[in-house]
């Protein structure tokens, strides 16, 4: 028997509506992330449409080993936030409209999964299987189940938190979003291991480097490119930390380094991921650059704020 608790979904509070705009943006951004992550390394191969359809009709149902089971779980987890965010981005009035909306989202997630698997035929490095479709469709259903239980409360909590924190909250929300994408991209497919034997094999296969710059390219141009890219990845964290007003410049640098260290430790436990102590070193200039940019942004904003205050406005 269905309980009466979900009735709260039927009449969303007006104050939650501005928050839903941000959720819709997050849902679309996450959709792009899902599609992009499912097609990398973007090695497109042209295939006749009829041949692609024939191949898709013959996609196998795989007998999953340990590594494949980790991929299956990763696909399932990938679609949970997707359906949750899309459910949170709408506000149907009435139980019937709510149920219809959730059914449409579930069908949409399943259709998206089928479309992604079909498109992967044109990207040969990707594995196409019925298992992935089932995992992603199930993830979509689980995301909707989570929304049914916690959804509207989470939207109202986010709206009230946004009201309480004011404009400074924008930087903090962007920070959490960036951290979510950064950790998700660097930890998927979440083939976790705590076995010392497997960690030794990971080191033996060159996916664990404890000597700074030992695994970097010999070519100086390529080396410079990798160092700069690695440093740039950490700029947004210290930048947003300072702008949000949560910590000082020194605290932002230390927290950025702590996040970099945490990510490397977590990558150590993900069998297919590389863990390199060099990333801790390249995070340092990125953290300082972010702090410098935050100071520059504040310096630019101060004259604007003073001029606006003279006219009776606030920035």
At 108-165, the pLDDT tens digits run 999 999 999 999 898 876 778 888 899 999 999 999 999 998 887 877 777 776 665 5
Phi and psi at residue 211, in whole multiples of 5°?
A: -110, 120
Whether residue 99 is contained in a domain is answered as yes
Cα-Cα-Cα-Cα dihedral of 283, 285, 286, 292, to 10°?
Answer: 150
Do 78 and 213 reside in the same domain of the chain? Answer: no
Domain that includes residue 201, residue range: 192-310
Whether residue 187 is contained in a domain is answered as no
Which token pair is 195? 């076995």
pLDDT over 80 (residue 11): no
Do 91 and 138 reside in the same domain of the chain? Answer: yes
Whether residue 277 is contained in a domain is answered as yes
Do 149 and 292 reside in the same domain of the chain? Answer: no
Dihedral of alpha carbons 255, 261, 266, 272, sign: positive
Do 11 and 58 reside in the same domain of the chain? Answer: yes
Verify cis geometry, omega within 30 degrees of 0, for the bond prior to 189: yes
Do 131 and 48 reside in the same domain of the chain? Answer: yes
Q: Which long-range contacts (CB under 8 A, 24 or more apart) does 53-56 make?
A: 55/121, 55/128, 56/117, 56/118, 56/121, 56/128
For residues 315 and 50, give the distance between their C-alpha atoms in angstroms, rounded to a whole number: 58
> Tell me: the pLDDT tens digits for 70-90?
677 878 888 999 999 999 888
Residues near 201 by beta carbon (within 8 Å), at least 6 away in sequence: none
Whether residue 315 is contained in a domain is answered as no
Q: pTM to 2 decimals?
A: 0.56
Indicate the average pLDDT of the chain: 78
Whether residue 275 is contained in a domain is answered as yes
Do 98 and 202 reside in the same domain of the chain? Answer: no
Which class for 78: exposed (0-12), middle (13-18), buried (19 or more C-beta within 10 A)?
buried
Per-residue pLDDT band at 306 (split at 50, 70, 90): very low
80 close to 146: Cβ distance less than 8 angstroms: yes
Do 213 and 102 reside in the same domain of the chain? Answer: no
Whether residue 296 is contained in a domain is answered as yes
Domains of the chain: total? 2
Which token pair is 170? 């924008």
Do 12 and 161 reside in the same domain of the chain? Answer: yes
Do 124 and 214 reside in the same domain of the chain? Answer: no
- 307 alpha-carbon distance from chain centroid: 39
Do 153 and 199 reside in the same domain of the chain? Answer: no
Whether residue 265 is contained in a domain is answered as yes
Do 217 and 300 reside in the same domain of the chain? Answer: yes
Whether residue 236 is contained in a domain is answered as yes
Do 222 and 146 reside in the same domain of the chain? Answer: no
Task: Look at residue 162 in the predicted model and tell me its pLDDT.
Answer: 60
């Amino acid at each position: 028997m269905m309980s009466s608790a979900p009735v709260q979904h039927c009449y969303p509070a007006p104050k939650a509506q501005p928050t839903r705009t941000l959720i819709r943006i997050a849902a679309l951004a996450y959709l792009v992330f899902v599609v992009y992550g499912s097609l990398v390394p973007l090695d497109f191969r042209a295939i006749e449409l009829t041949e692609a359809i024939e191949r898709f009709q013959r996609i196998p149902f795989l007998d999953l080993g340990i590594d494949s089971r980790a991929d299956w779980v990763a696909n399932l987890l990938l679609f949970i936030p997707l359906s949750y965010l899309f459910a949170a981005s709408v506000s149907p009035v009435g139980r019937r409209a709510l149920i219809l909306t959730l059914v449409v989202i579930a069908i949409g997630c399943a259709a998206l999964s089928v479309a992604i698997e079909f498109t992967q035929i044109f990207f040969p490095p990707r594995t196409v299987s019925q298992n992935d479709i089932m995992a992603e469709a199930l993830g979509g259903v689980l995301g909707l189940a989570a929304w049914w239980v916690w959804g509207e409360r989470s939207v109202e909590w986010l709206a009230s938190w946004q009201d309480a924190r004011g404009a400074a909250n924008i930087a903090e929300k962007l920070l959490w979003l960036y951290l979510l994408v950064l950790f998700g991209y660097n930890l998927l497919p979440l083939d976790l291991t705590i076995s010392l034997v497997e960690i030794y094999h990971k080191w033996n296969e060159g996916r664990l480097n404890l000597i700074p710059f030992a695994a970097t390219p010999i070519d100086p141009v390529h080396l410079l490119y990798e160092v700069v890219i690695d440093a740039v990845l950490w700029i947004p964290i210290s930048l947003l930390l300072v702008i949000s007003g949560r910590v000082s410049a020194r605290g932002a640098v230390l927290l950025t380094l702590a996040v970099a260290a945490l990510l490397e430790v977590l990558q150590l436990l993900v069998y297919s991921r590389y863990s390199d102590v060099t990333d801790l070193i390249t995070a340092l200039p990125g953290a300082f650059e972010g702090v410098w940019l935050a100071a520059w942004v504040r310096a630019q904003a101060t004259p604007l704020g003073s001029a606006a205050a003279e006219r009776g406005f606030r920035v």
